[in-house]
Amino acid sequence: MLSLSIKEVSAALRDGKLSATELCRRCLQRIKKTRHLNAYISVTEELAMRQAQEADHRMLRGKPLGPLDGIPFSIKDNFCTENVETTCASHMLRGYVPPFTATVVQKLMDQGAVLVGKTNLDEFAMGSGSTDGVFGPVRNPWSYTSLYRTHNPHAADPDSDWVITGGSSGGSAAAVASLSSFLALGSDTGGSTRNPGSLCGVVALKPSYGLLSRHGLIPLVNSMDVPGIMSRSVHDTAITLKVLQGVDEKDSTTVKVPDPPAAALPQDFDVRDICVGVPKEYHAPGLSAGTLREWNRVAAMFERAGAQVREVSLPHTQYSIVCYHVLCCCEVASNMARFDGLQYGHRSAVESSTEALYATTRHEGFNDVVRRRILSGNYFLLKQNYERYFMKAQQMRRLIAEDFRRVFSSGVDVLLTPTTLSDAQTYRDFIQEDNRTRSAQDDIFTQPVNLAGLPAVTVPTSLSSRGLPVGLQLIGRHLQDRKLLAVAHWMEQQMDFPHIHIHDEDEGDVEETESARQGHER
Amino acid sequence: MAASCSANRAVLNNCVKLQIMCNRHHCGGIFIRRIWTTRSKCQLQSKLQCKSAPQMVGVVALEIHAQIQAASKLFSSSRVGFSAPPNSHVSFFDASLPGTLPVLNRRCVEAAVTTGLALNCKINTKSLFDRKHYFYADLPAGYQITQQRVPIAVNGSLNFSYLVGRKRNEVMTKSVRVRQIQLEQDSGKSLHDDQRSQTLIDLNRAGVGLMEVVMEPDMCCGEEAAAALRELQLILQTLGTCQGNMAEGQLRVDANISVHHPGEPLGIRTEVKNINSARFVARAIDYEIQRQIEVLESGGTVLNETRAFDSKTGKTVPMRDKEGLQDYRFMPEPNLPPLFVYEGLASVPDGVDPAHAVLIDRLKAQLPELPGVKRMRVMEEYGILPEHSFTLVNEDGLIDFFERVVQATVMEPRKLIGWVIKELMGNLNQQNLKIRQSPVSPEALAQLLDLLESGFISSSAAKVVFQEMWKAPEKSVEQLVKELDLGLISDREELIKICQKVMDAHPDLLQVIRGGNKKVLNKMMGIVQKESKGRANPVQLINILQEMTS
């Protein structure tokens, strides 16, 4: 039941084959059984059951609110929720209960969706592993499949060789992958939704900048942040996008959706009308052989199906990491200035002076990663440095955006790229490097998209030789999210990617993949 | 309002008087000592004239923060109110709760454009917002949203006039360039409790829209700066873009001051922050000019620093270090798209709702008559003196009152101006009332003036009635005249009776008159008027007296 798509489970709810309360209860049980994943920071059990009951009342009256009515979902713990703690996985906001709800969360609730919990992340979404939050790292559910264990002899002990989810929205990805949520919201600033989506084998969309409201999303980099959508199918993602998109008067950067059509996905899609670009600069150092193989395989598949596939060039790609780093630090330094312990959040006991209170509050409240970025950002913004760093980065950002514009105006509809360099690393390997180096390595395929404000989606394509998911990324034109999803939908249908299979829920036992469906595993 | 107006007038008065003295006693030694303690531009100059070295002059530029008169704040929907209970007008955005975003208030943009137009500015059809960072307890976000790179209005001018001369009846006209007008957020307020070593924060003001009007260093002394400020205040009030009450902080002034020898590059400047009345602006600037001259003359150097004006001592003092050198780490505000305003309906692009667009030509068409134009008009239209036009236009609401009286009475404007400026304003000032609080309405005053004009009452009687009207506004003018028995006596028999009585009492005077000294007739008339309490119709009276004494 939990591995059904939203479309399927929604039909079951309407037909009365299943009640929303039963569905919600199952998800809550699942959360408890998968607690070792550390996917959730808070579980909103009471609220969820109440919402589910309301959904059932509507179903009984035959008046469901829409395709998401009664569907359990979770959100990254950097979306504000009225009366529900919102921590950003930071000491700074521990115990902080916002007085308002983020627009995108409210929209889901207004559609009858049932909030089951708030998911784990890197502190203030700064990271690519979901390992750097105060609540500890998130574990990738695929670490616990028998396939992974048989392929990795050291993984016999489930507590030693588990793999990371990627990040920073790792909790949301783990929640969807481990079947405790049908849908989850992440946030995506440099790849934070797509990266864990890819490593956890779920569909993860970073919409066009301006399509979804950021009101209530605690910012990382305002000019790049977008709420991300994670689900187990492109169709489910499309349904959700349709609900969430549109102008929000509380976010002045939102834009009008060009003629929203009735259906979430176009009906008349023909892959033969599509031109797929393959950027040559994305053959980056560190790209694993397995992922490269998948990239080539899928590109060939498009070609065989009649799509035009061509190599394209995005020459400024190599500068995106450093450009992102400067802009990110600057906005972080600015955005984090409000956390001074006066209005809300952590406040230090040191009150010898206002300055001392600020300093110790901020020292105690933020982890090293956040503090380093604040320090760098303030350095870049100093009057004598501004032109050398911030201005240069802004110029580079325009050049990167221009690269994409040129490629798209040459007739390319979507770009096909890897999402990550490889499948998920073990936690043990991952923490060998510091956060800054890891982010720089892990986000190279995803960051340029954020700099340009484009939509991009990762779709799981196969399992790696280690039995872990591999995903590929499709990048679309600005505000052409629906068309992008149409291509992704076609691609997904060719893939036959296995869901995590739940063996026997009552035993609460290990998850296994359906080995029968792993035809492409080599 | 009233307080700052009268304060301003006092400044002008003070300076003008001293200037006269300067002219008379050119550089008298004793005089210098005396002006030394009172600090005025005029005195400074006279002191310097005594020196053999070429004269140093002050250079002054003002930066004025004007709170935009709007129902809600610049980027949030919380209300704007001066005396509301602490922290009662604070939205989630104002308190900088994470996840909140700024939403620009169109009314504030319109106010800035309107003000820009009134100050002859070029309106930038595309302007940008920036973040200015500093840590302060009453700045909850840790940054202020302002317009550092591209402000909404640039390259304007403020034209202003003020009265000089012995009788304050000579008009001096000046123009100061306005560099820019930028939109920005106000901060909250901190209240320091030193005894308990705590700071209380009130965020009601946090996020209120400000227009920062930045002027070029085109002024030379406190008097001029105060006059410019006063004119700007009037313009803003006329436009309705700022209430301009300095006591409530709706208008706050920073003055940049330096001194130099004319023709040489500008000297190092200091900034005197947050001066809260026009009078203090004049005093702070003149003090600071004199201080800098002294520093330089004694071989020192002026430090580029921020200073505060202490109104008790009349001195400026350096502010604490943290207020000094700061790197504000400016950055574009990423949550606000560029601010577009349009020349007119035709230039609004597709996709922008014209109902929500700010249109320059529409705002231009709605500009009210500005004070300078109004003064010229009333002088020409009513034939009144320049100094009267200043009082009429500068006092909030007085011109309206005056024009209503003019409309309702047969008396000529030139003749009735004194009634409005002396009698009415005198009474109002005495009781510290605003014009719209006047117990005597323009119509009632007009009725009184009609009675005077028609000869029904005398001028002195009219003054008595006016005071009674003030005390008993519910009574009509006729009623009061009747009750006080102040109507002119035009009855011939009654007049003869009174004259006879007076002649009987002063046979000596009668004799002199009959002896041919007609001058004494006037004295006799005075006695009769006294007897009749000023009620005798003067025209009739003279005829009767002439008859009776001949």
Q: How far is CA A410 from CA A313, A421, A482, B66, in A?
A: 11, 27, 20, 51
- CATH classification of the domain holding B543: 1.10.10
| Banded model confidence at residue B378, pLDDT cuts 50, 70, 90 | very high
The count of other CB atoms within 10 Å of the CB of residue A368 is: 12
Residues B295 and B219 in one domain: yes
The count of other CB atoms within 10 Å of the CB of residue A259 is: 5
> How many structural domains comprise chain B?
3
Cβ of A222 within 8 Å of Cβ of B334? The answer is: yes
Structure-block tokens of residue B16:
């003008």
Domain ranges of chain A: 6-271+454-517, 319-394
- Min CA distance, A339 vs chain B (Å)? 8
Express each pLDDT in B13-41 by its tens digit: 333 333 323 333 333 333 322 222 233 34
Is pLDDT of B51 > 50? no
Residues B250 and B123 in one domain: yes
What pLDDT score does A361 carry? 95
Residues B113 and B77 in one domain: yes
Is pLDDT of B240 > 50? yes
Mean pLDDT across A391-402 = 98
Cβ of B92 within 8 Å of Cβ of A222? The answer is: no
Cβ of A340 within 8 Å of Cβ of B135? The answer is: yes
Residues B238 and B264 in one domain: yes
Residues B536 and B464 in one domain: no
Closest to A405 measured CA to CA, from A483, A314, A327, A324: A314
- Min CA distance, A352 vs chain B (Å)? 9
**Which domain does B531 fall in, by range?**
492-549
Closest to B422 measured CA to CA, from B387, B447, B453: B387
What pLDDT score does A501 carry? 64
Contacts A–B by Cβ distance under 8 A: 98
A:328-367 residues touching chain B, CB 8 A cutoff = 330-331, 333-334, 336-340, 342-344, 354-355, 358
What pLDDT score does A518 carry? 37
Mean pLDDT across B529-533 = 81
Is pLDDT of B12 > 70? no
Hey, is the C-beta of A69 within 8 angstroms of any chain B C-beta? no
The residue type found at B312 is: K
Point out which residues pair with B64 in neighbouring strands.
B213, B253
Residues B391 and B278 in one domain: no
What pLDDT score does B92 carry? 97
Task: Please state, in angstroms and rounded to a whole number, the distance separating the CA atoms of residues B121 and B117.
Answer: 6
Cβ of B135 within 8 Å of Cβ of A390? The answer is: no
Is pLDDT of B9 > 80? no
Mean pLDDT across A172-197 = 97
Strands (E), B54-208: 57-67, 122-123, 126-127, 130-133, 143-146, 153-164, 170-185, 189-193, 198-202
The continuous run of DSSP H or E covering B21 comes out as helix B2-24
Task: Please state, in angstroms and rounded to a whole number, the distance separating the CA atoms of residues B438 and B466.
Answer: 12
- Min CA distance, A251 vs chain B (Å)? 6
The residues of A that are catalytic are: 76, 168, 192
Task: Please state, in angstroms and rounded to a whole number, the distance separating the CA atoms of residues B325 and B526.
Answer: 75
- The answer to whether residue B359 sits within a structural domain is no
- The answer to whether residue B453 sits within a structural domain is yes
The sign of the dihedral angle between the CA atoms of A27, A32, A35, A41 is positive
Q: B465 and B480 in contact (C-beta within 8 Å)?
A: yes
Q: Is A104 exposed, middle or buried (0-12, 13-18, 19+ CB in 10 A)?
A: buried
**Which of the residue ranges A71-85, A240-254, B250-264, B443-457 would you say has the lowest mean pLDDT?**
B443-457
Which chain A positions have a beta carbon within 8 Å of B92's beta carbon? 99-100
Is the ipTM here above 0.90?
yes
Residues B167 and B196 in one domain: yes
Residues B407 and B536 in one domain: no
Chosen from B329, B335, B340, B350 to mutate, greatest number of chain A CBs within 10 A: B329
Helix H, strand E, coil C: the string for A168-219 is CCHHHHHHHHCCCCCEEEEEECCCCCHHHHHHCCCEEEECCCCCCCCCCECC
Mean pLDDT across B171-187 = 96
Is pLDDT of B70 > 80? yes
Helix H, strand E, coil C: the string for B332-373 is ECCCCCCEECECCHHHCCCCCCHHHCCEHHHHHHCCCCCHHH
Mean pLDDT across B233-249 = 95
Chosen from A350, A353, A381, A389 to mutate, greatest number of chain B CBs within 10 A: A381
Express each pLDDT in A312-353 by its tens digit: 999 999 999 999 999 999 999 999 999 998 889 999 999 888
Residues B454 and B507 in one domain: no
Residues B91 and B197 in one domain: yes
- Percent of chain B topping pLDDT 90: 60
Task: Please state, in angstroms and rounded to a whole number, the distance separating the CA atoms of residues B259 and B57.
Answer: 5
What pLDDT score does B11 carry? 35
Nearest residue on chain A to B139, judged by CA atoms? A338
Nearest residue on chain B to A330, judged by CA atoms? B331
| Whole-number average pLDDT of chain A | 92
| Banded model confidence at residue B7, pLDDT cuts 50, 70, 90 | very low
> Which of B281, B316, B332 represents a domain boundary (last residue)?
B332
Chosen from B90, B145, B148, B335 to mutate, greatest number of chain A CBs within 10 A: B335
User: Under 8 Å CB-to-CB from B103, ≥6 apart: which residues?
Assistant: A249, A250, A252, B75, B76, B77, B93
Verify cis geometry, omega within 30 degrees of 0, for the bond prior to B76.
no
Each residue of B52-82: b (16+ CB within 10 Å) or e? eeeebbbbbbbbbbbbbbbebbbbbebbbee
What pLDDT score does B535 carry? 80
Which chain A positions have a beta carbon within 8 Å of B95's beta carbon? 343-344
Phi, psi of B539, rounded to the nearest 5 degrees:
-65, -45
Express each pLDDT in A30-55 by its tens digit: 999 999 999 999 999 999 999 999 99
SS3 B284: helix
Cβ of B331 within 8 Å of Cβ of A218? The answer is: no
Is pLDDT of B213 > 70? yes
What pLDDT score does B230 carry? 95
Domain topology for A6-271+454-517: Amidase signature (AS) enzymes (3.90.1300)
Each residue of B93-102: b (16+ CB within 10 Å) or e? bbbbbbbbbb
Q: A108 and A244 in contact (C-beta within 8 Å)?
A: yes
Is pLDDT of B3 > 60? no
Q: Is B481 exposed, middle or buried (0-12, 13-18, 19+ CB in 10 A)?
A: buried
Q: Say which residue the tokens 């009855």 belong to.
A: B491
Residues B135 and B97 in one domain: yes
- The answer to whether residue B363 sits within a structural domain is no
The continuous run of DSSP H or E covering A450 comes out as helix A447-452
**Which of the residue ranges A79-83, A229-233, B44-48 would you say has the lowest mean pLDDT?**
B44-48
B516 vs B247, higher pLDDT: B247
Residues B441 and B504 in one domain: no
A:210-239 residues touching chain B, CB 8 A cutoff = 214-219, 221-223
What pLDDT score does A496 carry? 86
B:115-154 residues touching chain A, CB 8 A cutoff = 131, 133, 135, 137, 140-143
Express each pLDDT in A403-448 by its tens digit: 999 999 999 999 999 999 999 999 999 988 887 777 777 889 999 9
What pLDDT score does B169 carry? 77
| Banded model confidence at residue B196, pLDDT cuts 50, 70, 90 | confident
Is pLDDT of B69 > 50? yes
The sign of the dihedral angle between the CA atoms of A288, A291, A297, A298 is negative
- The answer to whether residue B344 sits within a structural domain is no
Find the helix packing angle between B2-24 and B29-38, rounded to 10°.
170
- Percent of chain A topping pLDDT 70: 95
- Min CA distance, B227 vs chain A (Å)? 36
Cβ of A334 within 8 Å of Cβ of B96? The answer is: no
Mean pLDDT across A72-80 = 98
The residue type found at B73 is: K
A:75-104 residues touching chain B, CB 8 A cutoff = 79-80, 88, 93, 98-100, 102
- Min CA distance, A379 vs chain B (Å)? 9
Strands (E), A388-468: 414-418, 456-463
Is pLDDT of B47 > 70? no
| Whole-number average pLDDT of chain B | 86
Which chain A positions have a beta carbon within 8 Å of B351's beta carbon? 256
